[in-house]
Amino acid sequence: MLKLSEVTLYAAAAAGTGTAYGVDWQNGEVQTRRIVTVLANAADSIAIEGTLDGTTWFNIASHTGATTPYVDTLTGPYKQIRAVKTGAAGLATVVGLI
């Protein structure tokens, strides 16, 4: 059985790249992760990125400003995921069940 853990992928007002977290991509069960993103300012954006090799990152989901949370359900064999914030106009919080 796959056990999900709550992690903070990003929590800051400044632009930057959050911590990359490994996911159990070798597990034979369905790989479903839920990510909640809250952006405090419409000028900022968040990209949720994934990698298969730890080097090349690709966009899985992206959102631009709003105070209403975005909820993404990610399905796939990712080795790691991370959040990348563009803009420094307000706080962004990205929490995942991975």
For residue range 5-22, what is the model confidence (pLDDT) as tens digits?
889 999 999 999 999 998
39-60 residue pLDDT tens? 888 889 999 999 989 999 999 9
Is residue 32 within a helix (H) or strand (E), and if so which, with residue range?
strand 32-39
Global pTM reads 0.89
How many residues appear in the chain? 98
> What three-state secondary structure class fits 42?
coil
